[in-house]
Structure 1
């Protein structure tokens, strides 16, 4: 079986290289011929692989592969929903517990959002969480104590406001492959309300509750994910869903290597096509 590992051409760094090399090494051990291809190079390739492991957020390219009849994991639709926090919220709304969320209305140029922010804060209270709709590793996420703080973070990019859920700066990351949770870790941060490891959070192996397991599996099914990382707050609310979570962190924390499980799941799904 021959596949492409699609990564971003313009994103560089040790943690990305480590992940990509780990995926290539795992595929080889599984007898899978996997070539790393950047999204820029992929645009010009005519080759049709057996599958694409899409470790990027270039959903237009992912859709282009799908239009050529190539199975893509995760799918362009699933990645698109997970990459936009507003789309994730709406896809899960009325089906799963989530923090109260108000999505900023669309504007086509710089506008004064002060009226909207004041009305949203009236409903959500203070402090309030400001999130740009697209972003990773907890970046562009801020805990704001005042309306003025919220206004300072508005920069023309789509955003949303969310109620602050007291969680002792911690959450649980459940990694799902197929229809089961394969690894879990608890993340916490003494110095930042964001528990992300990139922001200084620390992780420990975690045994999730039956309810958390059921939620994580159901969320991934709802979003059409073959694999994904689901972040759950201590009150059971779904915080975020990651279509291509950084699986090296959870491997280092739990000892569970998710990569071979992902390739096993992909192989099974290809057999059913």
Structure 2
């Protein structure tokens, strides 16, 4: 039988102990039911299989299989499309922040929390939350709220562009896998892209182009308050180093300053697990690029040779038992 002393020992290996105790636990891993991205389904399936090894029944649940509802009394409830076993914890591998918040209202322990997911899902909000925490990052400008672009003067946009330099990066506030990120090299290109995004009501951020980090960055994988491992990502053909965009990865040891900035960003955003991306500034000074709550850890696992998913589950069990 598990004891309170075991609960407090977060550094102890869990796998063998859980097998011996014949622990049977049910959890959900929620993912988006309308997003057809094979990597996400592969990642979810990987976590389900790792759960079996720890005697955890981890059910893969699409966000379209559960309907958040409020009763006449104003109570948060769920309507189910299919019969599901009551979970003792929920891994939320989606960005449906309202659903995550609803589940927390119902008393479920959700990993990552709805607040942490919200901060990471919107790049502008993420930089806002991280600001004033002594975390070095590229100079970043938030997109303005514009209701009618035809009424807006180009003076504002030109000032943004000139403030950050002749070469800038535009990132849509909501995007993954290195997509919706644009390298802009002249004023006309900048105004055209911003005009396009504004007309489509797409929030974005504008950042200075860190030329010293062209085609290379570091992905730092964190669980709890511990760095599990880091991967240098490099591309010979693209300013983005993402593996999804053709970059290649290899394991590296972090410097003290790289580890410190990654852990600080992780903690400020209140994450349980994350993938923190760092850029190389002048003299290889680490700069915070962004933080991912729903990190794609499959590429890291392949070169690491161990199960990152197992580490996540061990951490969650240590938090709830």
Could you say which TM-score interval applies, normalised by the shorter chain? over 0.9
Which has the higher mean CA deviation after the structures are superposed, 12-21 or 110-119? Answer: 110-119
Q: Contact conserved, 1:102 with 1:162, CA < 8 A, in 2?
A: yes
1:252 aligns with 2:302: yes
CA distance in 2, matches of 1:113, 1:256: 54
| Aligned counterpart, 1:79 | 117
| Aligned counterpart, 1:226 | 272
| Aligned counterpart, 2:73 | none
Alignment of 1:59-74 (within 5 A): 59-74=97-112
Shift of residue 113, structure 1, vs aligned partner: 6.5
SS in structure 1 of the partner of residue 286 of structure 2: coil
Q: Contact conserved, 1:102 with 1:161, CA < 8 A, in 2?
A: yes
CA distance in 2, matches of 1:260, 1:109: 49
SS in structure 2 of the partner of residue 40 of structure 1: coil
| Aligned counterpart, 2:192 | 152
Asked which structure has the greater CA Rg, the reply is 2
Ranges in structure 2 where 5+ consecutive residues have no aligned partner: 1-24, 68-78
| Aligned counterpart, 2:132 | 94
SS in structure 1 of the partner of residue 259 of structure 2: helix
Which has the higher mean CA deviation after the structures are superposed, 207-216 or 137-146? Answer: 207-216
1:107 aligns with 2:153: no
1:7 aligns with 2:48: no
Shift of residue 237, structure 1, vs aligned partner: 0.7
Alignment of 1:183-198 (within 5 A): 183-198=229-244
SS in structure 2 of the partner of residue 232 of structure 1: strand
Provide the alpha-carbon RMSD of the alignment: 1.5
SS in structure 1 of the partner of residue 59 of structure 2: strand
Q: TM-score, normalised by structure 2?
A: 0.81
CA distance in 2, matches of 1:17, 1:129: 30
| Aligned counterpart, 1:116 | 156
CA distance in 1, matches of 2:217, 2:107: 38
SS in structure 1 of the partner of residue 87 of structure 2: coil
CA distance in 2, matches of 1:149, 1:253: 38
CA distance in 1, matches of 2:37, 2:153: 36
Q: Contact conserved, 2:214 with 2:240, CA < 8 A, in 1?
A: no
CA distance in 1, matches of 2:303, 2:160: 38
Q: TM-score, normalised by structure 1?
A: 0.95
Of residues 20, 24, 31, the one that matches 2:55 is 31
CA distance in 2, matches of 1:257, 1:215: 25
Q: Contact conserved, 2:173 with 2:205, CA < 8 A, in 1?
A: yes
Ranges in structure 1 where 5+ consecutive residues have no aligned partner: none
Shift of residue 47, structure 1, vs aligned partner: 6.0
CA distance in 1, matches of 2:62, 2:149: 33
Runs of 4+ in 1 over 4 A off after TM superposition: 109-113
| Aligned counterpart, 2:209 | 164
| Aligned counterpart, 2:66 | 42
| Aligned counterpart, 1:133 | 173
Shift of residue 168, structure 1, vs aligned partner: 3.4
SS in structure 2 of the partner of residue 24 of structure 1: helix
